[in-house]
Amino acid sequence: MKPMTLCSSLLAVAGLSFAATAQAADAPNLSNSEFQQCLNTLKNSAQFRGISDSTFERYRPSAPDPSVIQSLNYQPEFQKDVWDYLSSLVDKERVEDGIRAKQQWSGVLRQINSRYGVKPEHILGVWGVESNFGQTLGKKPLFESLATLSCFDRRQSYFRGEFANALKIVQNGDINASDMTGSWAGAFGQTQFMPSTFLELAVDFDGDGRRDLVNSVPDALASTANFLAKRGYKSGEPWGYEVKLPSGYWAASNRKDKKSMSHWRDQGLTLANGSPLPYDLSSAGLLLPAGKDGPAFLVGKNFDTFYSYNASESYALAIAHLSDLITREDSSKTDFITAWPTDDPGISRQESKDIQQALLNAGYDIGAVDGIIGDNTRNAIKDYQSSHGIFPADGRAGKKFYNQIVGQNKPVASTTNDRIGQLIQQQSPKANATQSYPSTTYPSRSQITQPAAKVGNVRYRREAGADGVVRLVRVDEGQ
């Protein structure tokens, strides 16, 4: 089985939630002759005993891929808050995709449920978070990535095992070599299994004799169910609940310290809506992802099985929350009942794309509009904030910055410390017009006219273009 702590950091960096590309350090120069020598040694080592010479040579990479070493050593420059993490993983779009997937695969999900005892929405939650319901599988050639990681830098012994396992999968005929692409760390397919997890837990559910987690949705969903079942899933139990703590109550967040539901009732906890706690969890631990002032949860054994998929509590909570919203078939409200302790909440992937488009239009070269806020986008935001007098210039893509740069049909000033918004509203009453602003088009940065608000030494105006789109524009000296 894969070492979970390692994979958690690998998959988290490689996956949906964090920057997909590494910019902190340059890609290293890797010697190809050293690489080929290393592969020669590997081929004859004990770890590769089950791999035939012809299999090894057939998929032997002709050169290493330095970008995976760069990713291995990537240190995110910006720490993500839990609400930012969740708002992109559990947004309206993903809930709607999940509801559609549930309808489309209802027959298969029923069969999987009767064989493995896993609730369909829990499987859908994992599928949605892992690969966006099969839409995002990762494009890195697996043999190249794993062979490079087997021969350079840290963790070589772990990656050698995974490289051998990846070759085994192709040699067994489960997956076509051309389908062996995935994250830089080697997770692949609709369930984003590492090769060792695949060999241990993947199942053939559509009965064609192959465990194809890339092309077969029934195989992928059943393999997820098998994973959860083997990790201790309790059939019929919910993952847990959002709860409300009695006033003045304080206990540390400790998911693992499981207590009976009567214990929690005695402590005065209720469901978040105030109803009494149900008794359908055999035991539960308290999870406070943002401390006592944020949303609180009682989580049971099934939450822990989500956690075992990728050792991160925020990750498990994303699966849990997404599965609840798919169960309710309601995408209208993706927040928890208790708000996160912030006046600047996170944004959806669509809102991230809108910000990226606005930055492009403002002349920032941030690459593709992909809804993933990586270092390029964050650095552009930071620069935009500094040059527009927005405080703090922290590079974060949150709701306030979204309102500032995209200028949706909401007043810019949403809170008392939004200085620019207030100033601009005072000077530009039209900013409150109730017309609807398309979010995909923006005026160019050259459309600068009067009047302007002054923040520090920099002047701004809020500009509504002919298309009804509003944004902040810096008024340069002399204009």
At 201, is the secondary structure helix, strand, or coil?
helix
Least Å from the CB of residue 169 to Ca ion: 13
**Which range in 123-131, 205-213, 249-257, 408-416 contacts Ca ion by CB under 5 A?**
205-213
Stretch touching Ca ion by CB under 5 A, among 52-60, 214-222, 271-279, 352-360: 214-222
Does 208 engage in binding with Ca ion (CB under 5 A)? Answer: yes
| Beta carbon nearer to Ca ion, 191 or 302 | 191
Stretch that binds Ca ion, among 145-153, 206-214, 241-249, 411-419 (CB under 5 A): 206-214
Residue 349, CA atoms < 13 Å, CB-side half-sphere: 17
Residue 22 CA, distance from chain mean position: 16
Q: How far apart are CA 443 and CA 462, in angstroms?
A: 11
Q: Which is nearer to Ca ion, 212 or 354 (CB)?
A: 212
> What is the CB-side half-sphere exposure of residue 41 using CA atoms within 13 A?
11
Cβ 245 to Ca ion shortest distance, Å: 47
CB of 182 to Ca ion, least distance (A): 18
CB of 173 to Ca ion, least distance (A): 11
Of the candidate spans 154-162, 185-193, 211-219, 277-285, the one that interacts with Ca ion by CB under 5 A turns out to be: 211-219
Residue nearest to Ca ion (CB): 204
- In the complex with Ca ion, which residue's Cβ is closer, 206 or 383? 206
Shortest distance, position 211 Cβ to Ca ion, whole Å:
6
Chain centroid offset of residue 223 CA = 21
Tokens standing for residue 331: 């995408």
Q: Which is nearer to Ca ion, 209 or 274 (CB)?
A: 209
Q: Judged by CB, which is closer to Ca ion: 15, or 189? A: 189
Please pick, from the candidates 77, 93, 153, 204, the single residue that binds Ca ion as defined by CB under 5 A.
204
Based on CB atoms, which residue is closest to Ca ion, 212 or 313? 212
On whether the CB atoms of residues 173 and 210 are closer than 8 A, the answer is yes
Size of the site for Ca ion (CB under 5 A): 7
Closest contact distance (angstroms) between CB of 207 and Ca ion is 7
User: Do the strands 270-271 and 240-244 form a parallel or antiparallel pair, or are they unpaired?
Assistant: antiparallel
SS3 at position 239: coil
Q: What share of the chain is helix, strand, coil (3-state, %, to 5)?
A: 45, 10, 45
- The least CB distance from residue 204 to Ca ion, in Å, is 4
216 forms part of the interface with Ca ion (CB under 5 A): yes
Residue 457, phi then psi, degrees to nearest 5 = -100, 5
Closer of 221 and 406 to Ca ion (Cβ): 221
Return the number of the residue (191 or 348) whose C-beta is nearest Ca ion: 191
Distance CA 322, CA 320 (A): 6
Q: Which of 58, 64, 67 is nearest to 38 (CA)?
A: 64
| CA dihedral of 377, 381, 387, 393, whole degrees rounded to 10 | -140
Buried b (16+ CB within 10 A) or exposed e, 181-193: bbbbbbbbbbbbb
Q: Is 210 among the residues that bind Ca ion (CB under 5 A)?
A: yes
Please list every residue from 218 through 237 that binds Ca ion, using CB under 5 A: 219
Which residues lie closer than 8 Å to 207 by C-beta, 6 or more apart? Answer: none
CB of 174 to Ca ion, least distance (A): 8
C-alpha atoms less than 13 angstroms from C-alpha of 365 in its C-beta half-sphere: 0
Residue number with CB closer to Ca ion (111 or 427): 111
Where along the sequence are the contacts to Ca ion (CB under 5 A)?
A: 204, 206, 208, 210, 212, 216, 219
